[in-house]
A and B are shown apart, each in its own frame.
Chain A
Amino acid sequence: MDSKKQTIGILPFGEIPEIVPKIIAGNIIAYLNLLAEIIPPAENPDYALNGKRLQYDAGTILMNLESSCLNNYEKVIGILDVDLFVPIFSHVFGEAKQGGKYALVSLFRLKTNPDGSAIPSSIFYERGAKVALHELGHLYNLFHCEDKRCLMHFSGGLEDLDETPLYFCRYCTAFFKDALLR
């Protein structure tokens, strides 16, 4: 299945709105000029639930994905509706190992404003796409970028995320293209 080598797999976990993987796949195709395919949903990763923190350990899920048989995809982005954490942080919107194959996006904290107020669904979808493309950047070895007008700029909170555009700066674009050629 060589044709799928340059395809990005979008893997929904558990119950997530069907439209979200489609929007993420659409953005990957439109902005990054890559192929994207939605993979049949996986079960909610209950094995990664941390009883003390009542959050899901992103590292454990990524490790589990490493042993999966998703060999037909160049990179895979898992989409979850649970609260993700890494041991040093209170939470993460997404997680990926630099230069790795698998990334995760958590929709859990993207649905509302920091004060808990509701947001239009368009903003929610855009946030999901931004986190997914940012993590995909890490999978292609892109570092966090200094430029606030770049998708690879680190967004600590939702305000930052909303201000971040849905495209890379010209340097990160060049790096990304370069990474695709390798």
Chain B
Amino acid sequence: MDKKLSIMVVDDEMIIRESFLHWFEKYGHVVGTASSGAEALEKLETFPFEVLFVDIKMPGMDGIELLERVKADYPDTIVIIITAYGSIETAVKAMKMGAADYLLKPFKPEQLSLVMEKVSYQKKLASRYKYLKGRLEQVTRFDNIIGQSPAMEKIFSLIPDIALSDSSILLTGETGTGKELVAKAIHAKSRRANLPFIAINCGAVPDSLLGSELFGHQKGAFTGATHSRKGYLEVVSGGTLFLDEIGEISPKMQIDLLRVLEEKKITKIGNSQPIEVDFRLISATRQDLEKKIADGSFREDFFYRINVIKTEIPPLRDRREDIPYLIQHFLEKYSQETTKRVDHVSVHAIKLLKQYDWPGNVRELENAIERAVVLSKSRTLEIKDFSFLQPPTVPFSRTRSLLEMEQEHIRQILEECTWNVTKAAGVLNINRVTLHKKIKRYNLKGKT
């Protein structure tokens, strides 16, 4: 047993709990005790005990019921049953329900030692399995897109089909919806899967640099070009080029790219020799490109070139049923990365997270879970761990009337002043009678 374990002994007899405690202390293990099943479950909420020694016969919740609850809520926790002579049948039942082993009281010291060796071996296997599973998940990137909602199911069924063709794809959707993940999944399922996948955020690269990044340049082509450089369109050779925020590129760059898509040839900056290129283009945008075409800031011919297959990634608020799966995924990811054992989110917290509007979509949810995991002092995330989430604000809209704006503003101030009319009237700089009249006129009511 080279690793120190965290062990909880659950027995209604204090003398038994203390015996175990003193014994495990001699190995340097972290030991906790509980005198009942209910107390054990309570302690598990706050501390991730790896091994539980559970007495079968206890008043209230017996060992079998506790085993059932632990296996349902904390399947990785190893449970050893302690039993007395005459209750072997129950011990066998416990083994069938997932107990790792059982000990008949009183046992020889070497028997406990053997059980602990077995536990240690089991922990080692489990950690190896977890590592390999993580590696496998990284390889099969398709699994990184989480969701079981009809909207996501539709995308999942679409990916293999569109991956087989070589047509340009336009992914639309709000920021943080996972457009790049979908692009990667399409690439991973395509015949180009073994070739490069290069992602460029067009919005993050100044237009003057984007040309050089995409097409490459010859040495001396411009001031500062001290070396010849291959562009991404050449480097991607045979693979997939993902251009995020395509709506941000200049009309000139649209023409240059349009030519590349039509001729499949590029010319490096400062060189007249064309080079043949082969790549599949996936573009993404959060903007309404058709609107941009209408106002003249986006070329129609380029739009039709990049928009052969259009796929819209739904915002998170339109697929709230996926939120629990995403929470679980990010919880596993960050408890592994931070080595903090946080493996639960309370029912109330899940309800809150499902109600929240997630303007930043999956990315915002991921950041929220990461922050909560890092700061949490318990293994279960509660509502208080997400207190940093801002309540949804009413978006500014040019189509709203002055009356609607006034009504909303008064409501907000009243909420902030916890419906203290005198205080709210002071903030609004109107008298109390006027505010009462407005409350009545707009039929405003406080939350009950």
Contact = CB atoms under 8 A, between A and B. Distances in A.
B19 A87 contact: yes
A146 B20 CA distance: 19
Contact of B108 (A59, A91, A138, A143): A91
Interface stretch (B22-30, B147-155, B272-280, B282-290): B22-30
Contact of A88 (B26, B107, B110, B113): B107
A53 B105 CA distance: 12
B112 interface: yes
A89 B107 contact: yes
Given A59-B15, A88-B112, A144-B27, A98 B106 contact: no
A138 B111 CA distance: 21
Nearest to A135: B26
A160 to B, nearest CB: 7
B446 interface: no
Nearest to A98: B25
B26 A144 contact: yes
A88 B25 contact: no
Contacts of A98: 22, 25-26
Interface residues of B, number: 24
A160 B109 CA distance: 12
Contacts of B109: 89, 91-92, 154, 156
B18 interface: yes
A124 interface: no
A88 B106 contact: yes
A91 B106 CA distance: 9
A90 interface: yes
Interface in A60-110: 85-92, 97-98
Nearest to A92: B109
A97 B19 contact: no
Given A59-B18, A156-B113, A90 B23 contact: no
Contacts of A156: 108-111, 113
Interface string B1-39: 110000000000101101110110111100000000000
Nearest to A157: B110
Contacts of B15: 59, 87
A143 B28 contact: yes
Contacts of B18: 59
Contact of A146 (B2, B106, B112): B2
Contacts of A86: 19, 22-23
Contact of A85 (B2, B16, B106, B111): B106
A13 to B, nearest CB: 20
A85 B15 CA distance: 12
Give the residue among B16, B106, B111 with the most A Cβ atoms within 10 A: B106
B86 to A, nearest CB: 15
Nearest to B25: A98
A34 to B, nearest CB: 21
Interface in B100-131: 105-113
A97 B18 CA distance: 11
A156 B114 CA distance: 10
B264 to A, nearest CB: 64
A100 to B, nearest CB: 9
B26 A90 contact: no
A89 B113 contact: no
Nearest to B53: A88
Contacts of A91: 108-109
Contact of B26 (A87, A143, A160): A143
Interface string A157-181: 1001000000000000000000000
Nearest to B11: A88
B22 A97 contact: yes
Given A98-B22, A143-B27, A156-B113, A88 B16 contact: yes
Contacts of B28: 143-144
B27 A87 contact: no
A86 B27 CA distance: 17
A63 to B, nearest CB: 11
A157 to B, nearest CB: 6
A88 B2 contact: no
Contact of B106 (A59, A90, A138): A90
B390 to A, nearest CB: 50
Give the residue among B13, B15, B19, B20 with the most A Cβ atoms within 10 A: B19
B307 to A, nearest CB: 65
Contacts of A90: 106-108
Contacts of B20: 88
Interface in B363-378: none
11 contacts: A53-B106, A87-B15, A88-B19, A88-B23, A89-B109, A90-B107, A154-B109, A156-B109, A156-B111, A156-B113, A157-B108
Given A88-B112, A89-B19, 17 more contacts: A86-B22, A88-B16, A88-B23, A89-B107, A90-B108, A91-B109, A92-B109, A98-B26, A143-B28, A144-B26, A144-B28, A146-B1, A146-B2, A154-B26, A156-B108, A156-B109, A157-B108
Interface of A: 53, 59, 85-92, 97-98, 138, 143-144, 146, 154, 156-157, 160
Nearest 6 A/B pairs, CB to CB: A156-B110, A143-B28, A98-B25, A88-B19, A87-B19, A86-B19
